[in-house]
Amino acid sequence: MTTSLAAALNSLAGDDTIAQLAREISEQAADLRFHEALRRRSREARTAAAVATTTHLANAAGLPPRGDLAAMIVAGQADGTDARWRTWRILRRSLEYYGALGGTPDRTPAGQLMTALRRDGGLPAPDPAAARHQRIIAALLSAGGPAFVTTALIWAHGQGAGWAGTAGPPASAFGASLAKIHAVRSGLEPAGVAVLDDVGEPEALADYLAGDWQAAATWCEACGLMWRAGLIAGRAVCDDVLAGARGGATTTR
C-alpha cells in the first residue's frame, strides 16, 4: 500500500462516526458468525443472502416484480437477458471468491475476478473510465487498509466501473459484489450473509468519484448504515435457512 493511500484510508477511518459504524458492523458480524445455520449450512445461507440482495437491488432500481426469484432459479425459468437474472449471476459468481467459511481466504487476482463478474452479468468490456476504476479497485483490494472504509470505497469504484457503459441493477451488483468479497476476505464480515441494498447518496457517490474527498465520508456513512441493516437481514436469512424456509437456489446456469 502506498504511503498516500494508507494515509487517506487511515484518515477516513479515524472519523468518529465512521469509526463507530465500523465497530458496530464488526461486532454484529462477529456475533452472526456463530449462527447455527453457518455451522451446518453456510453455503446455502450465503446463496440465500445473494438471492435476497438481488431482489433488493432490483427493487431499488424500480424493476417490475417477476415472481419468486429463488423459485425461478431452481426451476431454470429466469431469462438470461433479464436485468434481475443478470444481477443474480454476478452475485452468484461472487460467492466463489469468498473462500470456505473458516478456511483459507480466496486469493483470486482482482483482474481475474472482475473479468468473471463482468462476463456473468453481461457487462461490456471496460472502457477507459471503467478501467481506471478497476485499477483503483485492484489497489484497494490489495492495500490491507482499514477494512470498513476500504470496503466502502471499493463499492464506490465498483459502481463507477459498472456504470461506465451500462446502468441498472447489474452495474450496481458489480460494485456490491466486489465490496462483499473484500468484506469477507478482510474479516469485516466473514460469514458473507449480509443482505445488501442500494446505498443511496447518489450525490455523494458522484462527488467522490469526481475527486471530492470530503464526499467519501458521506458515502462511507451511508454504506455503513446500509451494511448494519444488512447484517440484521442476514440474521433473518440464517434463521430461515435453519428452519428450512429458504435455500436451494444454487444453480449457476
Q: Which of 185, 188, 199 is nearest to 149 (CA)?
A: 188
Residues 178, 41: contact at Cβ < 8 Å?
Answer: no
Q: Determine if the pTM surpasses 0.85.
A: yes
Task: Single out the residue of 193, 189, 217, 212 nearest to residue 53, CA to CA.
Answer: 193
Q: Is the pLDDT of residue 231 over 50?
A: yes
Q: Tell me: pLDDT of 134 over 90.
A: yes
Q: What's the pLDDT score for residue 252?
A: 35
pLDDT at site 165: 55
Q: What percentage of the chain exceeds 90 in pLDDT?
A: 69
Domain presence at residue 214: yes
Asked if the structure places residue 252 within a domain, the reply is: no
The residue range of the domain holding 239 is: 3-243
The C-alpha atoms of residue 117 and residue 92 are separated, in whole angstroms, by 9
| 41 located within any domain | yes
Q: Is residue 44 part of a domain?
A: yes
For 18-37, what is each residue's pLDDT tens digit? 999 999 999 999 999 999 99
- Mean pLDDT over 188-217 rounds to 94
Confidence of residue 75 (pLDDT cuts 50, 70, 90): low
d(CA 151, CA 149): 5
Q: What sections of 109-213 are H helices per DSSP?
A: 110-121, 128-141, 147-163, 169-186, 202-209
Asked if 224 and 25 count as a contact pair (C-beta separation under 8 A), the reply is yes
> Count of alpha carbons within 13 Å of 67, Cβ hemisphere only?
11
Residue 248 placed within a domain: no
pLDDT (0 to 100) of residue 185:
95
What average pLDDT does the segment 59-64 reach? 79
- Give the pLDDT confidence score for residue 6 in this predicted structure: 85
What average pLDDT does range 195-201 have in this prediction? 91
Domains held by the chain: number:
1
Q: Judge whether 174 lies within some domain.
A: yes
Look at residue 113 and tell me whether its pLDDT is greater than 50.
Answer: yes
Do the domain assignments include residue 250? Answer: no
Residue 204 lies inside a defined structural domain of this protein? yes
Q: What secondary structure letter does DSSP report for 65?
A: P
Residue 247 pLDDT level (bands cut at 50, 70, 90): low
